[in-house]
Structure 1
Amino acid sequence: MLRTVLTTLAACWLAFGAAAQSLQDVLQDNAAAIAKPSRSTVDAVIADLAASGLPGVPDFLVAWRDKGVWQRDADGLFFYAAASGDDVALRDVDTGDDLGSEPKAGYTEIRPNAGVRRVIGTALVQFLLSDPDTARRRDAVESLARRPEPDQLEPLRASITVESDPALLARKTDLERQLTARFDPDPQARIAAIESLSGNLSVEARAVLNQILSTREAVAREVPADTNLASTLDPGTDISVEDAYQRLVDADLAPTTITRDARDAALVANIDAGRIAGIDVATLDTEEGRAGAYARLAEAGNADPFVPEEDRAAAAEAHTFYVAYDEADAAVTDAARASMREISTRLAFNQFADISLDALSLASIYFLAAIGLAITFGVMGVINMAHGEFIMMGAYTGYVIQQIIPDYTISIIVALPVAFAVTFGAGVALERLVIRWLYHRPLETLLATFGISIALQQLAKNVFGTQARPLTSPGWLDGAWVLNDVVSISYIRIAIFFLALIFLGLILFILRRTRLGLEVRAVTQNPGMAASMGINPDRINMLTFGLGSGIAGIAGVAIGLYAKVTSEMGGDYIVQSFMTVVVGGVGNVWGTLAGASLIGFTQKGIEWFNPSNTLAAQTYMILFVILFIQFRPKGIVALKGRAAGD
């Protein structure tokens, strides 16, 4: 009956015409059923409310369901009310106007039970599907999606015909296809709906198809003729003989049994004066003898029955173990299987695309973090363990700029050149004060820069504290670019990717089209010959180190937009930066790009096999790099390098 009521309810509610009677009049016509509602009376009340077409009906259903309706004892009128101490605050059910407070003693709270509230809640969804308020319609659709019922299909279809919001219309249409696939009484309509879901990658669509393809396992002498068979199970191959026999026992198709060890233990427990059930223990040295003695115990009721393994296997072979679909119509399940195969294919393709986007994003981050190191390491041969701290300095510079300039868009635009200037200056200072005295002494350089990195971390802790500081992205970078339920990427990562492309082009321009770039390449390939041509290698080393440090500062601003900004953040990228440089090829921009791509895609590929443990993925990544450099020690794109100058 509920389905008829709800269908009538939705159809009537679409009219929204003016009604001659008030909501209070309708309630008084059903006063007894409202005051003491039950599952047997609530349907009739809802039908009358639906037929009234009054706009206040949804509000009353909400209040009725939530125990917010009270009845005045004197005249039986209903009110919206909320108890407050000994009084009750009243509102008119037709207008919603505040009627003041009166003593609670003169009113009775209407308290429907849980079953009635469920019926009211289901009916309320049908009302709200065609509510004039778009937000309430949207909430009703999502509520229906969470708990779909067969009775909701027709009202949903009726609401689609009058839906004016394009996005909500698409959502309703999609949901209607899902409900049709599950609940429509016409098999052909279900098949058509199932086929329409074959291109839908949403979790909801897959859940609908999985529900249609739900199965149960059963056993019988022969599979019943009306069974929608999914597959058969072979004892000894698909299931063990012990499991198969237990299923026979559970289905009352075979007697219970115990294991051979339990049988022998029971024989030992029943030894009495050297005999078991009247049989001399000395004669029980064969399997047949033990089986016969135990059979006597079982016949006497002193032990559970024992069925030998060969008899169990024979019983299992005599029956058919099968998996059957809960859905009776084979054509429906065939269509669902075909749609699931199509979805699985598309899902695999989209998962690959999603992983590729993630890998591309990770590669761009690694490229930004490593390109400065690639320049300094390639030109100067300096192992700068403080490179990660220059990234940290850039991130903190962005944070300070945002404290001065509250507009996040402008602050980020300002922060990029300021971070470059700050870290460029810090890099030049580091090169002039420390590194210039340690050229050609790699071990001392490594130790010195490692100590400086620790000092810079402690300095950051003293200035900014140990808590992570927010580097907030502009509002237009909030959210993500969503292609479907599988493929998405945040706008921040897209921005970092384009920033990496910009820097790739800028660095290539500097190295290939400017005098500084020409001198850097000359010093990189042969510092002695460059010096003889009037180039000052000492000055180039200083500027190159400053350039690499400045780029690290800009990378820090970009990375800080999505990662935590702390004094230790540089340590999260120094290892990846060195791996990127070594794998790509020291001192080569294209090599750094190749190395970042290889490491980014490889790491995401490893994470795909074990997505819950990114630390393990990074560990495997390091092992991969170690193996890689065994076979290609100069990296993917190796320079001829300083060999000519050595």
Structure 2
Amino acid sequence: MRLIAAALFAALLLFMPHLGHAQGQTVTQILSENRALVEKASRTTIGPVIEALASSGDPQAAIVLAAWAEKGLGIRKADGVFFLIEVEGNGYKLMSLEGQAAGNAPKAEIVELKPNAGVRGLIATALVQFQLSDPDQLKREAALVSIARDPSAEHLTPLRASIEGETDPAILAQKTRLERLLTLRFDPDSAARVAAIESFSGDLGLDLRAAINPLLVTTRTAIPAQMQANGNIAAEIRPGRDISVEDAYAILSAQGLAPARLTRAELKSALAANIVDGKVAGIPVAELNTPAARDRAYSALEAAGSVPAAATDDEVAAAVAAHRFLDTYAEADSAVTSAATGLLKGIEVKLGAMQTADLVLDALSLASIYFLAAIGLAITFGVMRVINMAHGEFIMMGAYTGYVVQLFVPNYTVSLILALPLAFAVTFAAGVLMERLVIRHLYKRPLETLLATFGISIALQQMAKNIFGTQARPLTSPAWLDGALTFNDVVSISYIRIAIFVLALVFLLFFLWLMRRTRLGLEVRAVTQNPSMAASMGINPDRINMLTFGLGSGIAGIAGVAIGLFAKVTSELGSDYIVQSFMTVVVGGVGNIWGTLAGALMIGTLQKGIEWFNPSNTLAAQTYMILFIILFIQFRPRGIIALKGRAAGD
């Protein structure tokens, strides 16, 4: 071994002068002097040559390295001269390393260099320094992406060197951030690493967490109890509390500090195989009726060499008690791991707050959808006391109206502007027609109303299938509704959800204005409170009921356009929201718009909260939500905001 080491050291001394002069050498000189290494390049030997090429200062270095990686570098067998080669016909088109045309040569005269994956990886790393300062902005951005995807210590120096000359502000910011991420992982100066970690205080970036986590990776090991622990210790693990004794012994066995565990089946088999004259290791078989006795017998056989070494229960307990179990950081610098731990704890706290904020946004978004779907039902069911099971189909009709408009108006913004009032008109007319033909004959007969509207619901779904088919139809949102409003890597909300939230707020204000500031609203409230008294004051209750039902249906149509922008437009679209709409109205308080809003907020928050605990099963979340609402109604049957006055007793 000493002779081998001496030979390797001598070879290194012979090779070092060549590398020492690389800074002033051309690419041609470096390759010529190291021809043998280049011809039989491997990852373990070619590194110094590639580094010499990259640091030579020769303008052709990047071109030659790139050609080498792509099998575009060759050697002429006759004189060992290197060329840039390109396949042409049955031979190669040659070009000197300085970029001059050098004619053609048959394939038999050229040795094509074919670097393996390891060598190509070294070349790619060396090329980064050229790409980081390339005049082409796209190449600089691609180099940064490449470094971020597979960071290494070799990238740090060229990245730092490229920062000073960077002119693009956006790329400069990316380089600066990436430099800090590489510094905290690879810089040899502990203080620089700690400073880089502390500079990210309050940052929640995924790239930061990806850079921090490798610093805090631990390995669980065991050492004799009397031995002083070495390395950067994260924690001491106590068997029986932090881990089981069996798991602790498995660590000992894996490290070769103890023999393999003896299973009960192996113990029984070994004892049975060593019965001699009714005894096992001198112990009568009749006395082997306890675990302790069987363990003693096996230990005696083990001492005699009759069975392989293995640990009995007593030996396991003794071996575990004789060792300490430690979680040791892979990162040796304790100052770095302390700073990384503190930063990660701060990130986790802020991340929890951001996740809560994101959950709240999701809950508000869902609540606005439920409110928009339920506001029409709040009018027909809450004000008129009509159980309209076809309310979901008015939502579906509104969505299909938007789809039809887009067939004739390809501009999505214009088509959306046209679809909203048209959907209101279509569903308003359908609602009025339904009220005149069916509902008006069934007032104060809730069971018959429920059955009739349920039948209408099925009929409308079938009509939609006959007209539009069973395939989902696209209702495309305008380009300005694409994407999401992103606050950071955790908190974001799509622009469509924001638009629906705004639309729900607009309808809330519209409903309040309609009911409190218009004659129609006054008459609706009068008919709701006391139809007979309203009729005696000159109000036509039939007309008011017709307009109210039509208004509720029209609002459902507008809700359908909004919901169709992110949901599948099918004949079953409305059935996905009818249950939530009824729950929203009932839980909030029948006949009160503020109650509908409160019910939507409660159901949306409850559903998102349950989904957060069980994100893989949304059906279970809806089931638990319904059970909770059933219990809620038992304690508060009139809802969150109960209606007061005469109507409350109806």
TM-score by length of 2: 0.88
Distance 1:266 1:126, change over 3 A: same
Equivalent pair of 1:385/1:449 in contact (CA under 8 Å): yes
Is 1:48 the counterpart of 2:53 in the alignment?
yes
Q: Work out which of the residue numbers 100, 123, 127 in structure 2 matches 1:124.
A: 127
Describe the superposition over 1:180-238 as per-residue Cα deviations: whole angstroms up to 9, x where unpaired. 11111111111111112231111221222221111111111245354322211222222
Given that 1:370 and 1:581 are in contact with CA atoms closer than 8 Å, whether structure 2 keeps it comes out as: yes
CA contact 2:221–2:326 (8 Å) conserved in 1: yes
Supply the distance in 2 between the matched residues of 1:424 and 1:204 (Cα, whole angstroms): 52
Gap runs ≥5 in structure 2? 1-11
Report the alpha carbon displacement of residue 268 of structure 1 after superposing the two structures with TM. 2.8
Matched, 1:160 2:163: yes
SS in 1 for 2:222: strand
State which drifts further: 293-302 or 383-392. Answer: 293-302
1:173 aligns with 2:176: yes
Deviations 1:223-259 (A, max 9, x none): 5354322211222222222333333333343444524
> Which one is further off, 143-152 or 327-336?
327-336
Residues 528 and 645 in structure 1, CA contact (< 8 A), matched pair in contact too: no
**Alpha-carbon distance between aligned partners in 1 of 2:162 and 2:474, rounded to the nearest angstrom:** 46
1:318 equivalent in alignment to 2:322:
yes
Q: Secondary structure at the match of 1:303?
A: coil
Matched, 1:613 2:617: yes
String of CA shifts for 1:280-325, please: whole Å, max 9, x gaps.
4345456665455434432343323465534433332232222122
Q: 2:148 aligns with which of 135, 140, 145?
A: 145
Pair 1:358 & 2:362 matched: yes
Q: Are residues 1:395 and 2:394 paired?
A: no
**Greater shift in the superposed pair: 203-212 or 358-367:** 203-212
| Alignment counterpart, residue 536 of structure 1, candidates 536, 540, 543 | 540
Deviations 1:465-514 (A, max 9, x none): 21111111111111111111111111111111111111111111111111
The verdict on how the C-alpha distance between 1:260 and 1:432 changes in structure 2, with shifts beyond 3 A counting, is same
Whether the aligned pair in 1 keeps the contact of 2:94 and 2:102 (CA below 8 Å) is yes
**Change over 3 Å in CA distance of 1:49–1:399 after alignment to 2:** same
Equivalence map 1:92-491=2 (5 Å):
109-220=112-223, 221-222=225-226, 224-259=228-263, 262-277=266-281, 279-284=283-288, 290-305=294-309, 307-491=311-495
Q: Secondary structure at the match of 1:218?
A: strand
Kindly provide the amino acid, as one letter, of the partner of residue 209 in structure 1.
Answer: I
Deviates more, 1:65-74 or 1:563-572: 65-74
Aligned partners of 1:513, 1:47: CA distance in 2, in Å? 84
The SS at the match of 1:199 is coil
Secondary structure, aligned partner of 2:573: coil
Matched, 1:572 2:564: no
1-structure distance, mates of 2:85, 2:512: 73
Task: Please tell me the residue identity of whatever aligns with 1:196.
Answer: S
Q: Distance in 1 between matches of 2:311 and 2:436?
A: 90
Deviation at residue 589 of structure 1 after TM alignment: 1.3
Conservation of the 8 A alpha-carbon contact between 2:528 and 2:647:
no
| Distance across 2 between alignment mates of 1:385 and 1:89 | 79
Give the deviation of 1:70 after TM superposition: 6.3
Give the corresponding residue for 2:6: none
Q: 1:521 to 1:53 in 2, by over 3 A?
A: farther
How far did 1:126 drift?
A: 2.5
Q: Is the 8 A contact 1:33 1:42 kept in 2?
A: no
Counterpart secondary structure, 1:197: coil
Question: Is contact 1:26-1:52 (8 Å) kept?
Answer: no
Partner of 1:633: 637
Q: Distance in 2 between matches of 1:545 and 1:595?
A: 21
Contact 1:60 1:93 in 2 (8 A): no
Match of 1:599 in 2: 603
Q: CA deviation at 1:557?
A: 0.9
CA distance in structure 1 between the aligned counterparts of 2:253 and 2:113, rounded to whole angstroms? 52
- For 1:406 and 1:287, locate their aligned partners in 2 and report how far apart those are by CA, in whole Å: 83
Q: 1:126 to 1:307 in 2, by over 3 A?
A: same
Q: How well do the aligned residues superpose, as a CA RMSD in angstroms? A: 3.3
Q: 1:89 to 1:549 in 2, by over 3 A?
A: farther
TM-score scaled to structure 1, two decimals?
A: 0.89
Indicate conservation of the 8 Å contact 1:379/1:541, yes or no.
no
Deviation per CA, 1:589-609, whole angstroms, max 9, x where unpaired?
Answer: 111111111111111111111
One-letter amino acid of the counterpart of residue 600, structure 1: G
Name the SS of the counterpart of 2:114 in structure 1. Answer: coil
Q: 1:434 to 1:111 in 2, by over 3 A?
A: same
- CA deviation string 1:563-590 (max 9, x = no partner): 1111111111111111111111112211
**AA of the residue aligned to 1:598:** M
Is 1:65–2:69 an aligned residue pair?
yes
Gaps of 5+ in 1: 13-18
Distance 2:63 2:462 in 1: 61
In 2, the alpha carbon distance for the partners of 1:97 and 1:576 equals 76
1:497 correspondence with 2:525: no
SS across alignment from 1:380: coil
The 8 Å contact of residues 64 and 97 in structure 2, kept in 1 or not, is answered as no
CA distance in 1, matches of 2:74, 2:423: 66
Q: Is the 8 A contact 1:70 1:81 kept in 2?
A: no
Cα distance, 1:71–1:400 mapped onto 2, change above 3 Å: farther
Could you tell me which residue of structure 2 aligns to residue 508 of structure 1?
512
Measured after TM superposition, the shift of residue 66 of structure 1 is 3.5
In structure 2, give the amino acid aligned to 1:142: V
Cα distance per residue 1:407-455 (max 9 Å; x no partner): 1111111111111111111111111111111111111111111111111
Contact 2:590 2:643 in 1 (8 A): yes
User: Which segment is superposed worse, 481-490 or 120-129?
Assistant: 120-129
SS at match of 1:379: coil
C-alpha distance in structure 2 between counterparts of 1:564 and 1:96, whole Å: 60
Deviation at 1:639, TM superposition (A): 1.5
Instruction: Report if aligned partners of 1:232, 1:323 keep a CA contact under 8 Å in 2.
Output: yes
For the residue of structure 1 that corresponds to 2:201, the secondary structure is helix
Q: Amino acid of the residue matched to residue 178 of structure 2?
A: L
